[in-house]
Structures are given as C-alpha cells and as structure tokens.
Chain A
Amino acid sequence: MRLLLVEDYRPVRESLTKGLREAGFAVDATGDGEEGLWFARGNDYDVIVLDLMLPGLDGLSILKKLRAEGRQNHVLILTAKDALDDRVTGLDSGADDYLVKPFAFQELLARVRALVRRSYRTKNPLLEVQDLRIDLTVQRVWRGPEEIVLTPREYALLEYLAMRAGQVVSRTDIWEHVYEFNSSASSNVVDVYIGYVRKKIDRPDRPSLIDTIRGRGYTLGAEP
C-alpha cells in the first residue's frame, strides 16, 4: 500500500517513514505543504498522513483542496493541538481520522491499516482468496496449512492484489500502490515481482492463482 506522509518535524517524519516502510508500506514523505499537495495530486495514495502545522501550506488547506478536487484518499491527521475545536475542524474538513501528538507508533500503524481496509471496503483483517490466507495485521501469508515467506515488496504486491481480488489490476495501479515516488523501478519490475510471487504461492500441479490478462494487467483468484 502506498502512503503519503506530510510532516515538517524531521524526527517524526524520518522515524515514521522508516517504521511505515518496515511495516510494508511504500512511503513518500515531505516536510513542506506545497510539495505535499503536489505529491497528493500526482499519485493515488491509499492513505495520506497529514500534519496540520506545515510551512508553505497548512494541513487543513491541503485537505480542503484535495476534497474540493474530488479526491477520495483516506486522510489521517496528525496534530499537536488537541482542543476539541481543532479535532472537529479536522474531521469536518474531510479527514477520516486524527491522532494527537505524541502518539504510539503501533496505534498509528493500526489506524493506517484500518484506513487501507476501508479503501478496499474490507473490514476483516484476514483476507482469504481460495485457500490463500493473508493476515493483514501481522503480514503473514498461508496457502492451505503452509505458511509462505515473502519479502516485504512481494508481500506488498500480493496484499494489493488480494485487496482487489477478482478485479483486473493494471501494472500502473500496482506500480503506483506498491512503489515509492522516487524509486527507480519501472512498471517492468512489476512483471518480475509477479513472477517471484507466483513462484512462492503457486503449486506446481495447479493453475496459477494470479492470472495475466493480456494488455490489461493481472487478477488474483479469478474463478476459472
């Protein structure tokens, strides 16, 4: 899942970026409001984590602009202001959730995951596609009784496909939701990773769980 973090305080920004990446998210991070808006306009982020007090353009203004442009990204506001008014204003401006600083990283992670599930209209943190099971909370994957060990990037790809199980997912979509903005990867890399994931989750005697739809992309768990 791809996530935008707009936070001007360097220690928070850097630690959250690191923590979220380690948790399997593709994270774009910036400390400037204008740049944050530019990122948000240019990519389809699953979740935007937005600080309110920002140089350039403040968080609420970014949020209002995004909503005015009809963008449906899930937005979690980080704020050091905990007055009721500030929280109400944040939610009323179109935020989906908020967190008051200082916060527990695990709570932020849980809230971000919940927002991701909401993005894909699933409330159950356990995804099942045929006999493939993905536990979104602990980020572990099983095929039948057997656990499959994936690299973070492989997991991210599978998770995204699983969230949109049954749908045709384009290479661009995968690329946009799994890779960070400044990653050097091109969409060809997606095909390479699809290959890695297939190798790990497919069984030799069965058809692949991931189907290639020529010219359009991939689909996970489509009914044969």
Chain B
Amino acid sequence: MTSLRTRLLAGTTGGMLLLLAVLSLIVYGTIRRALFEQFDAGLEATAHLFAASIEQDTNEVELGLDLEQMPEFRDTKHETYYQLWGADEIVVGKSSSLNSTMLWRIPDGVGSPAFANSRGAGDRPLRAIGLRFVPRASDSEERLPPRADLPTMSLTVARDATELHGQLRFLRWLLLTATTAVTAVSFLIATIVVRHGLVPLNAMAAQIGAIRADDLTTRINAQHTPAEIAPIRDRLNDLLSRLQASFQRERRFTADVAHELRTPLAGIRSTIEVTLTRARDRQEYQAVLSDCLEIVQNMQAMVSNLLMLARLDTRQMVFRQDRIALADLVDTCWQPFAERALQRQIAFESHVPGDLTCLCDPDNLAMAVSNLLANACEYTNDGGRIWVAAHAAGGHVELTISNTGCSLHREQIPQVFDCFWRGDSSRKDAGVHCGLGLALVQKLITALGGSVTAELQPGGVFVVRTSLGGSSTSLP
C-alpha cells in the first residue's frame, strides 16, 4: 500500500535535498573558481614580475632582482618556488628552498601561461604556473614577444596552496553540513505539516467508519473539509444517498411482497377455517378445495413472477437468439385467453404480417406477450376489443397491443410498469392480479434488448408499444 504520508514526506524531503545539493554544487564551483582565479592572478603576477627581471646577455642569464627577497618568496605561509630553464631546457636557476627537489617544466604554448597542480615537499599541495618567454636583452628596455627565431626560456613558479585547499575543504564541509541540517529540519517540518494536513482525511475515515449498514441516513460532515477532499466527501455522500434510496426501495418491495402474499393466505385460511366450523356436505368441500386451489395457483404465479423479476434484476438469465415468426407467436400466446374473451364478447384482432420476424429469445418473448395479452384481457370492457399490430421500422420490430375499456387517468400511465401498482378498478378481483405483470414485461423486454412504453389514447384505449431488435420480413 502506498502511503500518502510517505510519498509526501519523500517528495518534499527528496526535493529539498536535490535542490540543496545543486545549490551547494553551484556555490562551491563559483567560490572555488573565484579562489583559484585570485590565487592564479597572484601567481601570474609573480611569474611576470620574475620573467621581467630576467635579462640575457648573449649567453648569460641574469636575474635582475634578488628574487629571494621578494615578499612572495619570503612568505612562509604561502611559500613560493621557482625554477628556470634556458633555451636548451637546461635548468639555469631555482629556488634555494627547493633544495634537491625539482619543479617540473610545464609545457605550454608560447606567450600564455599554463597552470597545474602538484605536490611538493611533505606532500603539500602546490599550484604552479608555467611561462615561456623571451628574456629581455640587457641592452634593451623592450621585451620581445616569443618568436621561433628567438631563444626562449621556461619558468615555473609554484606556490603552496595548502590554505586554498583548506578553504575549499572548509567550504565543502560547510555546504555538506548545511545541506544535511536543512534537509533534516525540512523533513521534521514536512512530517508535522503532513500529519496536520492529513487530519481531515483521518477525521473523514473515522466518520465513514462510524456509518452502520442499518443506518444509511448518516452523512459525512461538511465542516472544515479542505477543498481537495470536498469532492470525495460529496461523492461519498451521493453514494450514501443512492444506497439509502435503493435500500428503501428494497424494503418497500419486501413489504409489498409480504402484503401481497398475506391477502391470498388470509383467503385460504378463512375459507378453510369457516369450512371446518361444522360438518359440510361433499359438494361444499369440493367447492372449497377448488377455491383454495385457485388461490394457490395465483400465489404460485405470483411467486414465479417475483423469482423472474429477481433473476432479471441480478442478470442471471441467459437468452437465446432465434428468428421468431411474430404472427405465430401472437396467435399461440392468445390461445389461453380465447375462450374467456369469447364469453365476455371481447373481439381479438391480430394485424401482424405473416412474414414479419424478429431475432429474440422465443420463450421469454412469449412470456412477455402473454403477460401483455393477459393484462389487456383483464382490463378490456365486456364487449370490447383487443388488437395487436406489428411492423418493421429501421431494423426494429414495433409490436403494439391495444385494448378498449381502460379506466386509468393519463397521469397514472407512467405507473403501470411499477411493481404491485394496480389501477383502482383492477382491484375488483383483488388477489388474482398482484400488479407484477407489466413490471415483469418491462424488465423482460429491456433484458431482451428492446423497449416498452404505454400510452392512453382517446376513448379509453390503452396501448403498449414494444420495440424489438433484429427485424426481417422474409422467413428463412
């Protein structure tokens, strides 16, 4: 698990360390260069002064100054040495303090000095300058620039650089210490800041932890939430609201189921109990038993519908994809209702073209159509009319089932697909229809990839419009 705290701490501390390191390197480099430039300038001045004091008379080199007396050469702190080579790279002079030590000749271009670092006696660091020059003729005041045809001399002046290196060492130490110290302090500060900064997160976590599954009315407190956490809090609160609504729906559904099962149970119980209060004749018992059987069958249908709804909700159903001849399907589905419709003088018309097919699961589509026909049959007035029509439109099949005798109001129409909703008049035969049929149809058609809508047309005509995929007007 990645800790936000660790990441924040590592980020800030690491960043600070990197910044300080870069800064230290720049500071060190700049100061080092300045110190060297200063040192080298002194060294160069000494070398030039030295070179200028050298005169040559044909073959003799003469030192114009008592060099050993120059303050630079007498400074014990910054001890300076020289060594001079003649034209043939023969040592023509050197500092007496060098004793037997030899300085090295720095091979450089004529005219411009070159610098080098070395180690002297006692392993002391030396900084040296090498210079090639044409010595001034003793009879001339002018120094000639080095030329190939003129004899040149080489001069190396070396100076003790212990102090310089000491200063640089001190600087390195100072920068390293400062970097370490600042990093350590910034780590401490970051720790405190991060801990403080994460307090709202911890507080929110505690609030979320306190939400119980059986009480979804709790919301995460809005007070003192930083702007970055506020969206999370809001989304969580939204989620809680949706969960609460969904739980309430579930609870209401369960209560509705219980209610709908109680009514037929009450019917069975009172029918049986009243019958048992005294001895009855055979016909009476038979009538009571067939009454109870009818109730049980209705309950069974309701339980099947509930199970089907539950399966559709949890997407447990697997559908086939067959080409279905719609006219046949509608005729088959109508058969169980035909006799009752005839008794009630309800006219049934199917205007489904014989060659119209669609691609769907046959059993489940039949179930949906049967439910729609059952619903139409139930609510059509005696002597009324039920008609089914279908046509292909843009790759879809639109199947409409219409019936007369609808007593619903226009504003009740959107409710017809709700579970356990029944129009008032439909309660005349309460218990037989529990208000699941259209809810099931809607879920089923949706699961089959179609859509279903209901509308009320003038004259109490109730129309359910179903749209299904995979239309074709030629049977295979």
Tell me the complex Cα distance, A78–B270, Å.
Answer: 12
Q: Closest Cβ of chain A: how far from B263's Cβ, in Å?
A: 5
* Cβ-defined partner of A11 (8 Å) among B259, B271, B426, B427: B271
Tell me the complex Cα distance, A55–B430, Å.
Answer: 9
A to B CB contacts below 8 Å, 26 in the list? A10-B429, A10-B430, A11-B264, A11-B270, A12-B266, A12-B270, A12-B271, A14-B291, A15-B267, A15-B271, A16-B274, A19-B277, A22-B274, A31-B430, A53-B427, A55-B424, A56-B424, A80-B259, A80-B266, A81-B259, A102-B265, A102-B269, A103-B266, A104-B269, A105-B270, A105-B277
- Chain B contacts for A16, CB-based, 8 A: 270, 274
Tell me the complex Cα distance, A12–B271, Å.
Answer: 7
What 1/0 flags go to A10-32 for Cβ under 8 Å of B?
Answer: 11101110110011000000011
| Interface members, chain B 234-275 (any A CB < 8 Å) | 255, 259-260, 262-271, 273-275
With A80-B262, A80-B263, A101-B262 known as contacts, the answer to whether A19 contacts B427 (CB < 8 A) is no
**Nearest residue, chain A, Cβ from B270:** A15
**In the complex the two chains form, is B428's CB within 8 Å of A8's CB?**
yes
- Chain B contacts for A106, CB-based, 8 A: 273
Does A120 have its Cβ within 8 Å of any Cβ on chain B?
no
* Cβ-defined partner of A101 (8 Å) among B265, B275, B429: B265
Q: Closest Cβ of chain A: how far from B208's Cβ, in Å?
A: 31
Does B146 have its Cβ within 8 Å of any Cβ on chain A?
no
Q: Closest Cβ of chain B: how far from A11's Cβ, in Å?
A: 3
- Chain B contacts for A15, CB-based, 8 A: 267, 270-271, 273-275
What 1/0 flags go to B262-297 for Cβ under 8 Å of A?
Answer: 111111111101110110000000000001100100
**Nearest residue, chain B, Cβ from A11:** B267
Does A192 have its Cβ within 8 Å of any Cβ on chain B?
no
How many A-B contacts if CB must be within 8 Å?
91
Top 6 A-B residue pairs of the complex, sorted by shortest distance between their CB atoms: A11-B267, A19-B274, A101-B266, A102-B266, A55-B427, A105-B273
With A101-B265, A104-B269 known as contacts, the answer to whether A11 contacts B424 (CB < 8 A) is no
Q: Closest Cβ of chain B: how far from A50's Cβ, in Å?
A: 14
**In the complex the two chains form, is A9's CB within 8 Å of B274's CB?**
no
- Chain A contacts for B295, CB-based, 8 A: 11
Q: Closest Cβ of chain B: how far from A12's Cβ, in Å?
A: 5
Q: Closest Cβ of chain A: how far from B153's Cβ, in Å?
A: 118
What 1/0 flags go to B332-367 for Cβ under 8 Å of A?
Answer: 000000000000000000000000000000000000
Q: Closest Cβ of chain B: how far from A9's Cβ, in Å?
A: 5
Known: A22-B278, A100-B262, A108-B270. 9 other contacts (CB 8 A): A9-B263, A11-B268, A11-B270, A12-B266, A14-B291, A15-B271, A16-B274, A32-B428, A102-B266
Does A83 have its Cβ within 8 Å of any Cβ on chain B?
yes
Does A95 have its Cβ within 8 Å of any Cβ on chain B?
no
Does B425 have its Cβ within 8 Å of any Cβ on chain A?
yes
With A11-B295, A55-B424, A83-B255 known as contacts, the answer to whether A104 contacts B264 (CB < 8 A) is no
**In the complex the two chains form, is B267's CB within 8 Å of A31's CB?**
no
**In the complex the two chains form, is B428's CB within 8 Å of A102's CB?**
no
What 1/0 flags go to A23-65 for Cβ under 8 Å of B?
Answer: 1000000011000000000000000000001111000000000
- Chain A contacts for B429, CB-based, 8 A: 10
**Nearest residue, chain A, Cβ from B295:** A11
Most buried by B among A19, A102, A103, A106: A102
**In the complex the two chains form, is A8's CB within 8 Å of B270's CB?**
no
Does B431 have its Cβ within 8 Å of any Cβ on chain A?
yes
**Nearest residue, chain B, Cβ from A8:** B430
Tell me the complex Cα distance, A101–B295, Å.
Answer: 15
- Chain B contacts for A8, CB-based, 8 A: 427-428, 430
Tell me the complex Cα distance, A100–B262, Å.
Answer: 9
Q: Closest Cβ of chain A: how far from B23's Cβ, in Å?
A: 73
**In the complex the two chains form, is B262's CB within 8 Å of A54's CB?**
no
- Chain A contacts for B425, CB-based, 8 A: 55
Most buried by A among B273, B291, B428: B273
**Nearest residue, chain A, Cβ from B429:** A10
**Nearest residue, chain B, Cβ from A19:** B274
* Cβ-defined partner of B262 (8 Å) among A10, A102, A105: A102
Q: Closest Cβ of chain B: how far from A197's Cβ, in Å?
A: 23
**Nearest residue, chain B, Cβ from A31:** B428
